[in-house]
Amino acid sequence: MGRARAGKTSRSDKIYAALRQAIVEQTLRPGDRLPEDAIGDCFGVSRTSVRAALARLHAERLVEARRNRVAIVASPDPTEAQEIFDMRRCLEQEVARRLAGRLTAAQVETLEQHVRLEEQTSAPDSQAASQLAGDFHRLLAGMVNNRVLARYVSELVSRSSLILALYGQAHSTDCAVSEHRAIVAALSRGDAAAAVQAMQHHLGTVEKRSSIKEGDARTYDVGAILKRYAVKEA
Amino acid sequence: MGRARAGKTSRSDKIYAALRQAIVEQTLRPGDRLPEDAIGDCFGVSRTSVRAALARLHAERLVEARRNRVAIVASPDPTEAQEIFDMRRCLEQEVARRLAGRLTAAQVETLEQHVRLEEQTSAPDSQAASQLAGDFHRLLAGMVNNRVLARYVSELVSRSSLILALYGQAHSTDCAVSEHRAIVAALSRGDAAAAVQAMQHHLGTVEKRSSIKEGDARTYDVGAILKRYAVKEA
DNA sequence: CGCCTGCAAGGTGTATACACTTTGCAGACG
DNA sequence: CGTCTGCAAAGTGTATACACCTTGCAGGCG
Looking at chain B, list the stretches that DSSP marks H as alpha helix, in order from N- to C-terminal side. 11-24, 36-43, 47-59, 78-99, 105-120, 127-143, 147-167, 177-188, 192-209, 222-233
Per the CB < 8 A criterion, the answer to whether A122 and A233 are in contact is: no
Give CA–CA dist A227/B123, Å, rounded. Answer: 55
**Is the CATH number of domain B2-75+215-233 1.10.10.10?**
yes
Lowest mean per-residue pLDDT among A155-169, A181-195, A202-216: A202-216
Quick one: pLDDT band at residue B125, thresholds 50, 70, 90? confident
pLDDT of residue B214: 55
Looking at the partner chain, which of A51, A84, A146 has a beta carbon nearest the beta carbon of B148? A84
**Mean pLDDT of all residues in chain A?**
86
Residue A153 sits at the vertex; the CA angle it makes with A180 and A117, to the nearest 5 degrees, is 35
A56 to chain B nearest CA, in Å?
Answer: 7
Which of B175, B176, B170, B156 is closest to B85 using CA atoms? B156
Quick one: pLDDT band at residue A195, thresholds 50, 70, 90? very high
A5 to chain B nearest CA, in Å?
Answer: 12
HSE-up (13 A, CA, CB side) for residue A159: 29
pLDDT of residue B64: 97
pLDDT at B185 over 60: yes
Q: Is B53 left (phi over 0), alpha (psi -120 to 50) or beta?
A: alpha
Per the CB < 8 A criterion, the answer to whether B17 and B54 are in contact is: no
What is the share, in percent, of chain A residues with pLDDT greater than 70? 84
The stretch B6-10 carries a mean pLDDT of 68
B111 to chain A nearest CA, in Å?
Answer: 24
Nucleotides of D under 7 A from a protein CB: 10-17, 21-23
**For chain A, how long is the longest CA-to-CA vector?**
78
Torsion of Cα atoms, A112 then A113 then A115 then A120, to 10°:
140
Cβ neighbours for A207, distance < 8 A, ≥ 6 positions apart: A85
Q: What are the beta bridge partners of residue B63?
A: B73
Which own/partner contact pairs does B124-127 have at CB distance under 8 Å and 24+ positions apart? B124/B173, B125/B170, B125/B171, B125/B172, B125/B173, B126/B171, B127/B25, B127/B26, B127/B171
Write the burial class of residue B30 (CB in 10 Å: 0-12 exposed, 13-18 middle, 19+ buried): buried
The protein residue nearest nucleotide C16, judged by CA to C1', is: A46
Domain segments of chain A as ranges: 2-75+215-233, 78-208
- Record: contact B67-A149, CB cut-off 8 A: no
B216 touches chain A (CB under 8 A): no
B106: number of Cβ within 10 Å: 8
Quick one: pLDDT band at residue B127, thresholds 50, 70, 90? confident
Assigned CATH class of A78-208: mainly alpha
A122-133 pLDDT, tens per residue? Answer: 776 788 888 999
HSE-up (13 A, CA, CB side) for residue B27: 9
Q: Which amino acid is at B118?
A: E
Between residues 60 and 119 of chain B, which touch chain A (CB distance below 8 Å)?
A: 60, 67, 80, 83-84, 86-87, 90-91, 94
